[in-house]
């Protein structure tokens, strides 16, 4: 029988690095989706040759880059068993992607949306495939406002980040509903506040908080544990549309449970992609 294949975005540092490493130790062949080829090559050396590892270049903030990555992956593989949407960012000042979409939303939601929906056929071909989205308790800071996603009128990094993490949960729940007939599960993981370099650069309030309190945060190994659990544990076989904290079901905000918001987010995401390249997706 062929080995199981896992795709991990953002595997070059932090919890993504640990997630990729642990999945390799569990025998998964890996598709490593990242921007920095040099860092991926270093990870491949650490993993060794016990499993197959493949690098696919991708900037998740760029619609064209994600579409190119999807086509590369589809040309090389006939199935995917686990997809871990791990990569994410928070930026202190308002910035836009090359597609003129607010950078946090573009990277944390729209890129994973294009990647995931573009690879649905490969997930259908997998063995009871699982999709894991790394979300955050920061979603409690946000309310769903569709008019503030692409170009928020006011910018506060933690609020905008929280809104993107809320989008992760809404997207995951909508995926769970749409993919139920195919036996594909979709769940979210909160890694905790992790002692990595995430959000630690710069001089803003969020960066200062991360620097001051880093000694009290979870290790990257602890942060990756829930993603690995959702990707591999028999305990969650068939479980879908849930949000996990410390490998257990966790509570979410009222906004994250609004299925109309999930459908509206999906429609907006399709509109943004169709406007860019006229491709039809799921």
Q: Which residues pair with 160 in a beta bridge?
A: none
* Helical pair 259-277 and 111-118, crossing angle rounded to 10 deg: 90
> Phi and psi of 42, rounded to 5°?
-65, -40
Residue 237 tokens read as 């076989």
Longest dimension (CA), the chain: 53
> CB under 8 Å to 29, separation ≥6 — which residues?
3, 4, 5, 6, 51, 52, 53, 54
* CA–CA separation, 199 and 203 (whole Å): 10
* CA–CA separation, 221 and 84 (whole Å): 16
Which residue is catalytic, options 17, 155, 229, 243? 155
Q: Tell me the C-alpha to C-alpha distance, in Å, between residue 232 and each of 185, 222, 242.
A: 12, 16, 15
Q: Which residues pair with 194 in a beta bridge?
A: 218
Q: Which residues of 10-39 are buried (b: 16+ CB within 10 A; e: fewer)?
A: bbbbbbbbbbbbbbbeeebbbbbbbbeeeb
Label residue 217 left, alpha or beta by phi (over 0 means left) and psi (-120 to 50 means alpha).
Answer: beta
* CA–CA separation, 142 and 32 (whole Å): 30
Active site residue 161: no
Catalytic residues: 155
């Amino acid at each position: 029988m062929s080995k199981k294949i896992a795709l991990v975005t953002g595997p070059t540092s932090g919890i993504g690095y640990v997630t990729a490493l642990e999945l390799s130790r569990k025998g998964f062949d890996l598709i490593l989706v990242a921007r920095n080829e040099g860092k991926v090559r270093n990870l491949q050396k650490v993993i060794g040759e016990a499993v197959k590892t493949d690098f696919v270049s991708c900037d998740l903030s760029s619609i064209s880059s994600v579409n190119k990555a999807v086509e590369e992956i589809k040309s090389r593989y006939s199935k995917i068993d686990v997809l871990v949407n791990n990569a994410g960012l928070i930026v202190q000042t308002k910035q836009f992607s090359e597609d003129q979409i607010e950078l946090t939303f573009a990277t944390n939601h729209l890129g994973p949306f294009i990647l995931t929906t573009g690879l649905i056929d490969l997930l259908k071909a997998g063995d009871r495939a699982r999709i894991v989205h790394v979300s955050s308790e920061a979603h409690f800071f946000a309310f769903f406002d569709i008019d503030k996603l692409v170009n928020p009128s006011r910018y506060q990094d933690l609020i905008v980040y929280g809104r993107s993490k809320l989008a992760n949960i809404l997207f995951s729940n909508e995926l769970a509903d749409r993919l139920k007939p195919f036996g594909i599960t979709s769940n979210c993981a909160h890694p905790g506040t992790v002692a990595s370099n995430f959000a630690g650069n710069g001089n803003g309030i969020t960066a200062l908080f991360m620097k001051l309190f880093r000694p009290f945060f979870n290790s990257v190994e602890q942060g990756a544990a829930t993603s690995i659990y959702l990707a591999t544990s028999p305990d969650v076989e068939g479980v879908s549309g849930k949000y996990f904290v410390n490998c257990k079901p966790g509570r979410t905000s009222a906004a994250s449970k609004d299925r109309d918001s999930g459908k509206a987010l999906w429609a907006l995401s399709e509109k943004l992609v169709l406007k860019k390249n006229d491709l039809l997706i799921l």
